[in-house]
């Protein structure tokens, strides 16, 4: 399993990269893409949408099933990755390169509540 140490994670299988400006880049983990199988459709949030922590804000559909993607923290959506929408299979090819959306946290300290790589690996057992 591929769980980069420089990222943060949620128990609901999102990865979070904290950028230098404090914004967060979010995708789904390698573990998640493998469990989902071939990804064929993404529905991502609009820029400007204000979201609550753990709110279902995006949908990822594989050949098998549809799954929700949750906001890792409360905040405002800055951008969705149109390239991933146009090529959903990029999530399978490299889950950490195929980011899904960027979010500006309402409270920078909320990031501290996210899992680290060891914590995520322990969570998925």
Position 63 contacts other proteins (CB under 8 A): yes
Q: How far, in Å, are 10, 74, 92, 111, 117 from residue 63 at the CA level?
A: 24, 30, 12, 32, 28
Instruction: State how far the Cα of 102 lies from the Cα of 44, in Å rounded to an integer.
Output: 11
Residue with tokens 């998925």: 124
Single out the residue of 11, 52, 59, 83 in contact with other proteins (rule: CB under 8 A).
59
Restricting to residues 64-103, which ones interact with other proteins according to CB under 8 A?
A: 64-66, 92
Min. distance of Cβ 88 from other proteins in angstroms? 10
Position 43 contacts other proteins (CB under 8 A): yes
Residues lying near other proteins in the complex (CB under 8 A): 34, 37-38, 40-41, 43, 59, 61, 63-66, 92
């Amino acid at each position: 399993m591929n769980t980069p140490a420089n990222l943060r994670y949620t128990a609901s299988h999102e990865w979070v990269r904290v950028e230098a400006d404090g914004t967060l880049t979010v995708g789904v983990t390698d573990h998640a893409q493998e469990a989902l199988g071939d990804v064929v459709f993404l529905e991502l949030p609009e820029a400007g949408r204000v979201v609550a922590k753990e709110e279902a804000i995006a949908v990822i559909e594989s050949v098998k099933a549809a799954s929700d993607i949750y906001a890792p923290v409360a905040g405002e959506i800055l951008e969705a990755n149109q390239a991933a929408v146009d090529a959903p299979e990029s999530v399978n090819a490299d889950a950490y390169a195929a980011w899904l959306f960027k979010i500006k946290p309402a409270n920078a300290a909320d990031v501290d509540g996210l899992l680290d790589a060891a914590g995520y690996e322990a969570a998925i057992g």
